[in-house]
Amino acid sequence: MIEFPKDFLWGAAISAYQTEGNNLNSDWWDFEKKAGLKDASGLACRHYEFFREDFALASLLNLRALRLSIEWSRIEPQAGQFCEKEIEHYREVVSVLRERNLEPVVTLHHFTNPLWFARLGGWQNKKSTDYFLRYVEKITLALCGQVRFWVTINEPMVYIYHSFILGFWPPQEKSFFKALQARNNLIKAHIKTYRLIQDIYQRKNLAKPLISIANSMQAFVPCSRSLKNRIAVYLREKYFNHVFLDRLKKSGALDFLGINYYTRSLVEVERWGLRNLFLDICKKNHSLLPKNSLGWDIYPEGMYSVLLGLAKYRLPVFILENGICTDDDSQRWDFIRGHLKSIYLAMQKGVKVWGYLYWSLMDNFEWDKGFTPRFGLIEVDYATYKRKPRDSAREFAAVCKTGRLDLDAE
Ligand code: FCB
């Protein structure tokens, strides 16, 4: 039996675009149609209408924290035109969370942008940061009385990788140069957002907010100890896992380390070359580990090594996403249990962890992969929009209630 601290924040995460439905003014809405994705987000989970019911379920599951995101394109559907009705909607969302004793963890940018912003060049535009800050100020002023935890940008490196290097997501660029431009603007956006939010709280005499990013981290494991592979692992750890944390910490713009962890990546570099060193992955299919329904290795040991690798920052950690998509719910509980064990072991080694948010509270629109991957603690029936907590949710709820986890139990 292991036991987590009494004040450990147990919870789950969602994002606006993946759950709300009808985000008509977002760049993703446009992209889905143009790219002819197999599933378009459409009504998603209709969470925009059903958020009260969803939060009621979250609190029945003994969760104490809920991470969600604000859809910028709702707040500012046209450049410079802010929609009071939508601001009011999120005010309501956050106050319902509070009524349910769920600590809101609010993300300001979770992969999607307003279409007008994308059409102006998105994160490559020199003015992108100014545009973003304008929206941040509006929403911070509206929510500051009720929100303590802010996440500025979700997984900036994953966003850059998919949108500017692989070209899978809008704006579908494949350019290291453009990726760098976007990266620099996102770094700038975070630092300025950090200062702006801190400033607003100070002016209003509110308790200091806690601000970070949601930093995606993978365990990079080399297939062999060849020099190419070792250099690749070094580079990937530095540029995928740590670059944002390093830069933001240096600017004094992080109050904690927001971490998303899902899987490992097997590194096998075919030949010398910058693209190879950064992008080559093992194609031999020789991993014997169990996988999720998207084929990602299930590797709880990686959670442990990633957490220990954060010691140099001397900041507390908050796990903002960790989860599995699977059609076999018993695999979900095994996954959660394995990862909680790794977190516990890392805490025994001195890593300070504030909380754990499972991805996701409910099944939702998994970007280009559509509705097939099922990540939810709660099952969503997309024909009726009925919600049904899974068995794994009940297992997790018991841990959330007591803070205790029996590692020997079946
Ligand atoms: C993360 C994203 C989240 C979801 C999970 C599965 O990279 O932040 O929106 O797609 O992966």
Candidates 249, 254, 242; CA nearest to 309 is 242
Query: Topology of domain 2-217+238-263+294-405, per CATH?
Result: TIM Barrel (3.20.20)
CA distance 26 to 29: 5
Is-contact 222 269, C-beta < 8 A?
no
Is-contact 106 69, C-beta < 8 A?
yes
To the nearest whole percent, how much of the chain has pLDDT over 90? 97
Count of Cβ atoms closer than 10 Å to residue 391 Cβ: 12
Q: Provide the mean pLDDT of the chain.
A: 97
Mind listing the pLDDT tens digit for each residue in 362-382? Answer: 999 999 999 999 999 999 999
Give the nearest ligand 1 atom to 216 CA. 7
Count of Cβ atoms closer than 10 Å to residue 333 Cβ: 17
- Distance from residue 319's CA to the centre of ligand 1 (Å): 13
- Distance from residue 135's CA to the centre of ligand 1 (Å): 23
Tokens at 44, concatenated: 């998603």
- Distance from residue 15's CA to the centre of ligand 1 (Å): 9
| pTM, entire model | 0.98
The DSSP 8-state label assigned to residue 102 in this structure reads -
Candidates 375, 259, 265, 370; CA nearest to 32 is 370
To the nearest whole percent, how much of the chain has pLDDT over 70? 100
| Model confidence band, residue 410 (pLDDT cutoffs 50, 70, 90) | low
Per-residue pLDDT at 284: 87
The DSSP 8-state label assigned to residue 103 in this structure reads E
Residue bearing tokens 């545009």: 131
Instruction: Give, for 210, the enclosing helix (H) or strand (E).
Output: strand 210-222
- What is the sign of the dihedral through the CA atoms of 272, 277, 279 and 283? positive
Q: Whose CA is nearest to atom 4 of ligand 1?
A: 366
CA distance 325 to 377: 10
Count of Cβ atoms closer than 10 Å to residue 188 Cβ: 18
Ligand 1 close to Cβ of residue 363 (< 6 A): no
- Distance from residue 140's CA to the centre of ligand 1 (Å): 24
Statement: residue 408 has pLDDT above 90: no
Ligand 1 close to Cβ of residue 321 (< 6 A): yes
Is-contact 170 31, C-beta < 8 A?
yes
Instruction: Give, for 217, the enclosing helix (H) or strand (E).
Output: strand 210-222
| Model confidence band, residue 409 (pLDDT cutoffs 50, 70, 90) | confident
Question: Could you tell which of 367, 372, 377 is best to mutate to test the pocket of ligand 1, judged by most ligand atoms within 8 Å of the CB?
Answer: 367
Q: How far is CA 303 from CA 23, 67, 298, 307, 368, in A?
A: 33, 20, 10, 6, 26
Ligand 1 close to Cβ of residue 294 (< 6 A): no
Give the nearest ligand 1 atom to 323 CA. 6
The DSSP 8-state label assigned to residue 228 in this structure reads H
Candidates 138, 51, 45, 33; CA nearest to 89 is 51
Provide the 3-class DSSP secondary structure of residue 408.
coil
Q: What is the distance in angstroms between the CA of the first residue and the CA of the last residue of the chain? A: 13
Give the nearest ligand 1 atom to 155 CA. 8
- What average pLDDT does this structure show over 33-60? 97
Candidates 200, 239, 20; CA nearest to 112 is 20
Domain ranges for the chain, please list them. 2-217+238-263+294-405
- 391's CB contacts (< 8 A; 6+ apart) are 329, 330, 333
